[in-house]
Amino acid sequence: MAANWKMYKTPDQTRDFFRDFLPLVSGHTRDEIVVCPPFLDLPAALEAAKGSNVSIGGQNVHWKEEGAFTGETSAALLLALGVTHVIIGHSERRQYFGETDDTVNLRLKTALEAGLIPICCVGEVLEEREAGLTDDVLRRQCVRAFHAISAKKAAKLIIAYEPVWAIGTGKTATPELAAEAHAVIRTEATEIFGEEFAANLRILYGGSVKPENATTLISQEEIDGALVGGASLDPKSFTAIVKY
């Protein structure tokens, strides 16, 4: 169960969140929980979550070890702070910041090499769904994202299926649509990484997950968890989703 805070919350607001959230989920062992705040909130989040059952993730990682890449963050920087997870290829990065399947592949390779657990996002835009291209798009995104990565290297990979038309719009994919897309992704993962890998692969659903729809979505057999944006900003509503 992953929270994507996007560009929300200051360090003080981060501390407030964890003060309220941690007691609500302490002892919850059914699911892994990870919160991905903005980079500048990472120290506050890591400090607050120390010793708890909540892991902390970044929202992106550059593929180079270090160098003249103004505004970027390396795997080494994230690891030095104690970050364990990282979101890669979120649709907002693809839509607004020129992220491509190829840069997603570079970031993924680096994250896996460094020992970070990547949450790799894929998903179609509305025009692609309406044109009947969803399956093709998901297959293309997977093939390119996982190019030249071995099953052994990819062992910790988590995929998030996020239909772009459902992100922050209040429109959710029906549980059936989401499950269908997850099945396409799992089939593609079987082709690329093999059956055993695909059977153990965790695929999260993301896109307007709320306490009201979490149960019907996540109880679909194909859906292993959720990547939650807006509804993860409030400790009570994220708890309700975590404990669906």
Is 90 an active-site residue? yes
DSSP 91-152: HHHHHHS---HHHHHHHHHHHHHHT-EEEEEE---HHHHHTT-HHHHHHHHHHHHTTT--TT
By C-beta, is 193 or 224 nearer to ligand PGA? 224
Among 208, 213, 237, 239, binds ligand PGA (CB under 6 A): 208
Distance from chain centroid for Cα 68: 27
By C-beta, is 193 or 235 nearer to ligand PGA? 235
Catalytic position from the list 99, 162, 188, 222: 162
The residue range among 21-29, 55-63, 189-197, 228-236 that interacts with ligand PGA, by the rule CB under 6 A, is: 228-236
Residue 175 CB contacts under 8 Å (≥ 6 apart), including other chains:
216, 217, 219, 220, 223
Task: Tell me if 74 sits within 8 A of 61, measured CB to CB.
Answer: yes
By C-beta, is 193 or 213 nearer to ligand PGA? 213
Residue 57 CB contacts under 8 Å (≥ 6 apart), including other chains:
2, 34, 35, 36, 83, 84, 85, 86, 87, 117, 119
108-167: contacts with ligand PGA (CB under 6 A): 162, 167
Catalytic position from the list 32, 62, 85, 90: 90
Is 85 an active-site residue? no
237 binds ligand PGA (CB under 6 A): no
The residue range among 7-15, 45-53, 93-101, 222-230 that interacts with ligand PGA, by the rule CB under 6 A, is: 222-230
By C-beta, is 193 or 244 nearer to ligand PGA? 244
> At 158, is the secondary structure helix, strand, or coil?
strand
The residue range among 64-72, 123-131, 178-186, 223-231 that interacts with ligand PGA, by the rule CB under 6 A, is: 223-231
